[in-house]
Chains A and B, each alone.
Chain A
Amino acid sequence: MLALTEVRRRKLQFGFVTGVVALIAYLIIMVTGLGLGLYEAAGTALLNLNGDHLAYAANSNLSVIRSRLSDEDVAEVRSLPGAEAATPIGYVAAVIEFGPDESDTAAIIGVIPGSFAEPEVVEGRPIESPTEILVDRAWVRVAGTRVGDTLALPVGFETRDFTVAGIVDRGYFFFQPGMYVDLASWQDLVFQGEAMQKPAASLVLLQGRDLAGTRSENWRIVTKEDGFNNIEGVQAQQSTVDALRYMGLLIGAMVIGVFFYVITLQKVSLLGILKAIGAPGPYLVTQGLLQVLVVCIVGAAVAVGLALLTEATVLASDTIPINFTSGAMATSSISVVIAGVVGSLLSARQVASIDPIIAMQQQ
């Protein structure tokens, strides 16, 4: 096979191109991983809630932070005909110390113990008292917290100790590891010392169908996915990451295209001679595309290897929100191969248009 023999014998030239393809593919995999990581950090805990819809305060503009629902609102939503089940949820961010001079922000989510909003525990047991808390694995990875440890959560100007009853695996909420407390404890955390009536919840999680769009003067219901997409910054963040990825693919296609175009220009006389001695145009085009495929596939494989190495070393600390999944790596790699082939179509056209008479004119 002429194409593969050339790749094998011209290792430096094709190794260089493969290296460039690998770097481009690595960049795209990293950007894709970053997009996925940021997406998950934005609120997988919300997406993982065991419900279909969310009711927000009507004046909150679908912001969990601003949404405040009264007891009457919650009761009204709960009594909706399409609502098979409904349970209130509270949210507040809190800075929690986990060591000397070490602290981080967590998303404190108030749930009614035993309700379908309470996450499944992967270690330990569910909440049984208002002074217990469930922490997410994302927090455990950062702080090393274990079942039985005590965490001090700020309540007004004081702190209140909560005992870790169990570990859950629901991910982040608002870029913060989730923690789950009794809804009554959440009310204390948020509204301690306030004289006015305490809101009952931030949101109501609902199970049921065709509830999206239902609204009253005080609340409105959207799907869980719409709720996620309205988390502050999520859409802009995903658009930015997508734009980076598409730009990477575009630049990749152009760089690969230019490389192969230059290689093709260097071989015009040789290709003319091959045509003159009977090589059909489609054969030469196929050989060229085969080289592009080999270079792109090897480059993408090297990039996947680099990404896995990065994941095992640089990203092992879990402080950078980059998440590699085999699906994302495969999609990125295939995209790079496709971009490379598309970019090299100009070279294919050039090969097809070479007139074999050039073999006589190169003398």
Chain B
Amino acid sequence: MAILQLRGVSKSFGQGARRVDAVRDFSLEVDRGEVVALEGPSGSGKTTLLALAGALLTPTAGEIRVDGDDITKYGARARTRYRRDRVGFVFQGSNMVPFLTARENLLLVGEFGAGDRAALRRRADELLDQLDLIPVRDQVATSLSGGERQRVAIARALMRDPSLLLVDEPTASLNFELGTRVVDALLSEVHLRDKACIMVTHDDRMAQRADRLVEIRDGSVLSDRPLR
């Protein structure tokens, strides 16, 4: 059963002569336990697709279903709840709250809504342990290395146990060795926890580590092939 389904999704910006079609009639399904690498040149619509799947943008046309729900029908509050509880974001670069420690960055998601604080603390410690972050858990984000920050970002994305992970260029600011470690950690978590994941990248070496590779050009699917 596909966790994420995009059907005939289009997204345009601007109007008239200034109209830009970032995504055109795009369809994709991502199954549980599957990591799909989305590869393409700059401006091909990768990040727009991620933003659409994460309810940061609404499509001009088409439908986006997550666990069967059409998220394009959601209002502002429902979109916020969706982003908080059902999707995990890993952004490019260090998108930690700089004055919080690694552990506090994970616990931050508990502040946005109701939840058992003790359970959240246990989960944070468990994720920090699994991603080898225990030694740095009490260090503020600004003192962490790039690789550590990205692993903290992955752990933060998994805090609410979302069914879908949306990962944007996770290795852009890392060298190959560090990038590989981060992507492997991500793959391991997705497979271990049976999540669906879209990972945007323009690094083919990283894309090859995914379960499936979707190449896009000008907002449309150019190729879609399994890697495992």
Contact = CB atoms under 8 A, between A and B. Distances in A.
B97 A356 contact: no
B63 interface: no
Contacts of A283: 111-112
B56 interface: yes
B84 interface: yes
A270 B97 contact: yes
A6 to B, nearest CB: 5
A141 B169 CA distance: 76
Size class of the B contact interface (CB-based, 8 Å): 20 to 34
Contacts, number: 75
A2 B56 contact: no
B83 interface: yes
Nearest to B85: A278
A2 B54 contact: no
Contacts of B185: none
B95 A360 contact: no
Nearest to B57: A357
B113 A278 contact: yes
B20 interface: no
A275 B47 CA distance: 17
Contact of A277 (B51, B104, B109, B172): B109
Nearest to B111: A2
B99 A10 contact: yes
B83 A356 contact: yes
A276 B89 contact: yes
Nearest to B80: A280
A254 B18 CA distance: 39
B80 A360 contact: no
B91 interface: yes
B51 A357 contact: yes
A279 interface: yes
Contacts of A363: 47, 91-93, 168-169, 172
B156 interface: yes
Contacts of A359: 56, 89, 91, 95
Given A276-B83, A277-B89, A277-B156, A360 B113 contact: no
Given A359-B89, A360-B168, A363-B92, A277 B99 contact: no
A313 interface: no
B57 A278 contact: no
A273 B140 CA distance: 17
B213 interface: no
Contacts of B3: none
Contacts of A276: 54, 56, 83, 89, 91
Interface majority SS (helix, strand, loop, mixed), chain A: helix
Interface string B85-107: 10001011101011110001000
A356 B157 CA distance: 16
A229 to B, nearest CB: 54
A363 B169 CA distance: 9
Interface string A267-297: 0001001111111110100000000000000
B168 to A, nearest CB: 7
B77 interface: yes
B112 A5 contact: no
B9 interface: no
B86 to A, nearest CB: 9
Contacts of B81: 278
Contact of A5 (B56, B57, B104, B169): B104
B108 interface: yes
A357 B57 CA distance: 7
A278 B51 CA distance: 13
Given A359-B89, A363-B93, A363-B169, 16 more contacts: A2-B108, A5-B104, A9-B100, A270-B97, A270-B98, A277-B157, A278-B85, A279-B80, A280-B77, A280-B112, A357-B51, A359-B95, A360-B91, A362-B91, A363-B168, A363-B172
18 contacts: A9-B99, A270-B97, A274-B108, A276-B54, A276-B56, A276-B89, A276-B91, A277-B89, A277-B109, A279-B80, A280-B112, A283-B112, A359-B95, A362-B91, A363-B91, A363-B92, A363-B168, A363-B172
| 8 smallest beta-carbon distances between A and B, as pairs | A278-B84, A9-B99, A363-B92, A278-B83, A357-B56, A273-B95, A279-B112, A278-B112
